[in-house]
Amino acid sequence: MTHEYDYLVLGSGIAGLIFALQVSRRGKVAVISKSDLYDCNTDHAQGGIAAVLDATDSFAEHIEDTFSAGASLGKKQVISQIIEQGPKLIQYLIDLGTDFTRRDDNYDSRLENLSLTMEGGHTHRRVAYAADSTGHQIMEALIKNCRDNPNIDIYENRIAIDLITQHHVANDLGFIPGISCWGAYVLDSVTHQVDIFKAHKTMLATGGASQIYSHNTNPDVATGDGMAMARLAGGRLANMEFVQFHPTAFWSPEGDTFLISEAVRGEGAILRLSDGSTFMENYHPKGNLAPRDVVSRAIDSELKRRGEKFCWLDATKIPADHLNIHFPYIGSRLKERGIDFTREPIPVAPAAHYFCGGVIATIDGLTDIRNLFAAGEVACTGLHGANRLASNSLLEALVTAYNAANHPYIEEKVVFPKIPQWRLMGDFNENEWVVISHNREIIGTIMQGYVGIRRSRRLLKYALSRMENIYNEINNFYQHNSVRREVVETRNMAVIAIAVIRSALSRKESRGAHYLIDNPQRDDLHYLHDTII
């Protein structure tokens, strides 16, 4: 079946839905969600969204904090433009119905009345939040507005397989120079039918790829689909070696991982080793509020030195009422596991969390491929550099998606070529399914063991050899079987894992979220540049 829209949105997080709402004023929009609309990284975001919202703060300080946390690899002009748009667009979220926590509940959610918290790497309280479920509150407002909008059609439980480009069409009228996108082939995960979604403009808002690591904080849908599709279509990726590990993910022997927000440390929680001693003061002047890459490496070093699997996050010195009011979601998740964080410490360990790199895009979402935009974690705009400053992710997604939807280029129409139906490959071979299920698990194991917080060139080369073989096995299965969601995801995971490893091998220094034991120092003379694939 063929669907035709003015705008196609792949992904249903903050970037995708902001874009959909804005462009719906200009035409019909299709939103493709791999699962349900809430199943995305935005909904999992606890801490908040960073912006200059207090008279004692300044754009200059937020810019410097972002640049410093990014190990001097961020783009100053990009950082400035995104940060300066922050307050206006947080007000836009409020106008859409986002219920941020306020200083005084008797007053409206005006910017000056928002309660602000502190997170690692920041020099001011500038993180607006909604208790510890900020992302969920934003999603509730955006989803309601999208569902109420007659110009937006929502398709859940569907996954984009490929962007429709010159690779798929017959050039019988002559060659079309460059690469253009005319929509996507989309698989219905329930019926296994593949439909054509034609669109004049397509937005990649598919989020990150931390599922390529066995220990991560992301939902199951974060398999790097948009990054992989852009790469396979001929788009460039940047800075894929900079995978940020969140320092404080809940640890359990069963591997039941969920995020313990950085804001808990912002309110006074302290990291401790098994003997009760503190250690962050030995690694950074800001101690427990050092940038994420520093805290994650510190924890990793201490645990490996001691042969232990987790440390403790101690919030017991924070008044219990304050903890319960500010962090109700975390408190409830911990109580399900028999932990009262007002009385006892939380077992934590670093886990893969966020991709600072991605599809090269401008702050207006423009990519290498005509008619294709990208925003959110899937994109690399130059804001984060080598390491993301806490709570800048929602800010970037919000600003870039809003800018993309209001760029003059968005109204340009295209002439669609003749797009063939998806090539069906016959029956799905259940006997060979182990190729997918087994390799998906192996990808996570290899990346966790060899491409984690501390890397060596020897193990990176070993990982690359293994991963290229795995990709060939998956691709062979993909070429000879009818398509399934798990097959597409595993292909994408292998593509992105290889991109991460190759990028890591090309950077022979340590910077931000990339730490190489062979070259533990930063080398501004030779590596103060982006890694482009």
Q: Give the CA count within 13 Å in the CB-facing half-sphere of 294.
A: 21
CA dist 373 and 362 (Å) reads: 9
Q: Which residues are within 8 A (CB) of 415 and not within 5 positions of it... i.e. 6 or more apart? A: none
With both helix axes pointing from N to C terminus, report the angle between 434-450 and 457-480 in degrees, rounded to the nearest 10: 160
CA dist 429 and 19 (Å) reads: 39
With both helix axes pointing from N to C terminus, report the angle between 393-405 and 76-96 in degrees, rounded to the nearest 10: 80
Q: What is the largest CA-CA distance in the chain?
A: 73
Token look-up 């207006």 returns 364
C-alpha to C-alpha distances, 480 to 163, 184, 280, 310, 468, nearest whole angstrom: 20, 21, 52, 43, 19
CA dist 240 and 497 (Å) reads: 9
Q: Is 292 assigned a catalytic role? A: yes
C-alpha to C-alpha distances, 520 to 115, 280, 284, 508, nearest whole angstrom: 39, 19, 16, 9
In the 8-state DSSP scheme, what is residue 59?
Answer: H
Reduced 3-state DSSP string for 84-138 = HHHHHHHHHHHHHCCCCCECCCCCCCCHHHECEECCCCCCCCCEECCCCCHHHHH
CA dist 529 and 507 (Å) reads: 10
Catalytic residue among 158, 292, 502, 507: 292
CA dist 516 and 526 (Å) reads: 15
Q: Which residues are within 8 A (CB) of 144 and not within 5 positions of it... i.e. 6 or more apart? A: 97
Name the residues annotated as catalytic: 292
